[in-house]
Amino acid sequence: MKGRINITSKTTTRQALVLLTDVDFLGQLEAKTKPVDLEEITYGQRLELSDMKTVRDLILNPWRVLKDVPEEKVLRMSFFQVFAFSFSVVKELKRMAERDERTFTYSPTPEEVQAGYFNLNHGAFGTVDRIAQRLGMSHDAVFELPEKRVYAMLKIDYDTSNYQRKLNNIISKKQ
């Protein structure tokens, strides 16, 4: 069949990356992979993995970041083995991002918008800085914290903030 890419169990990751250059294959590939358990992932690892932009990043970065396997070694491995792990990591990161979106969605009031609510988004550094201050540790140490602990702290802060807003609103209506 003309234009068909033939990847077998003997195809190395290096060979597959050459074959897949400029090919959008993820939407067409039915990978029967189960998400890996990222219970032990650190906040720093999650941030590093969340910055994958290319197919090469998607395939190689999970091995480097989570398993400390050098790129040259991954490139010699079976593509199916490499892809199964990497794609499952990507699926789990997507699940985590969707969880965060559901948990931390907030619609500011017009007064909060006027006061500059949207200027408060300081991204990952803002999160790292807040946790470092809260726990009295260095910024670098925050990157080593378990991701699930960072999520729990952010959720507690978010829930407390929502409670305080509601309480203030109730009190102001009574006055």
pLDDT digits (tens, 9 = 90+) for 49-72: 998 888 889 899 999 999 999 999
Helices (H), the chain: 13-20, 43-49, 55-67, 71-76, 79-103, 110-114, 123-135, 139-143, 147-174
Q: Retrieve residue 154's tokens.
A: 């952010």
Band (164; pLDDT cuts 50, 70, 90): very high
Does the pLDDT at position 31 exceed 60?
no
CA distance 44 to 147: 8
Q: How far is CA 106 from CA 55, 118, 157, in A?
A: 33, 11, 13
Q: Report which DSSP code applies to 51.
A: T
Give SS3 for 1. Answer: coil
Q: Nearest Cα to 37, choosing from 96, 119, 115, 99?
A: 96
Tell the burial category of 82 from Cβ atoms under 10 Å away from its Cβ (0-12, 13-18, 19+).
buried
Please tell me the predicted confidence (pLDDT) of residue 26. Answer: 54
pTM for this model (two decimals): 0.77
Per the structure block, which two tokens stand in for 172? 């102001």
Give the pLDDT mean for 74-96: 89
Residues in Cβ contact with 67 at an 8 Å cutoff, skipping those fewer than 6 apart: none
For residue 92, give both structure tokens. 């789990």
Q: Domain spans of the chain? A: 13-103, 110-174
Beta bridge partners of 152: none
